[in-house]
């Protein structure tokens, strides 16, 4: 099993628990899918850890326009704080497996 999958597992479980608790499993699937697609792009991977990018810049990049679940935004903030935004593709895959 890859190291990224191992690191992503607790975040996927937390995402699933939050989405289930709030009755938003399909919405989180869409949100995670969107963020994972962006984060999985090789060009984006190179800038995810760039020190000049603010949290607001990253959230603007990784969240779709419109009304986004506040819990999802907070989830992305935790990933950012823990330097795990690059794991979004693996988190999304594991989330879907749990779902």
Q: What is the pTM of this model?
A: 0.91
> Residue 63 has what pLDDT?
92
Question: 59-87, pLDDT tens digit by residue?
Answer: 999 999 887 789 999 999 999 999 999 99
- How buried is 60 (Cβ within 10 angstroms: 0-12 exposed, 13-18 middle, 19+ buried)? exposed
Residues of the chain with pLDDT under 70: 1
> Residue 62 has what pLDDT?
94
Q: What is the DSSP string of 29-73?
A: HHHHHHHHHHHTSHHHHTTTT-TTS-HHHHHHHHS-SS---HHHH
- Please tell me the total number of residues recorded for the chain in this structure: 99
């Amino acid at each position: 099993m890859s190291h990224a999958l191992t690191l992503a597992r607790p975040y996927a479980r937390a995402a699933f628990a939050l989405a289930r608790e709030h009755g938003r499993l399909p919405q989180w699937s869409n949100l995670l899918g969107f963020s994972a697609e962006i984060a999985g792009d090789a060009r984006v991977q190179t800038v995810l850890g760039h020190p000049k990018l603010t949290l607001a810049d990253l959230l603007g990049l990784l969240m779709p326009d419109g009304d986004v679940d506040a819990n999802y935004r907070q989830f992305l903030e935790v990933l950012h704080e823990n330097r795990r935004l690059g794991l979004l593709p693996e988190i999304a895959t594991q989330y879907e497996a749990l779902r």
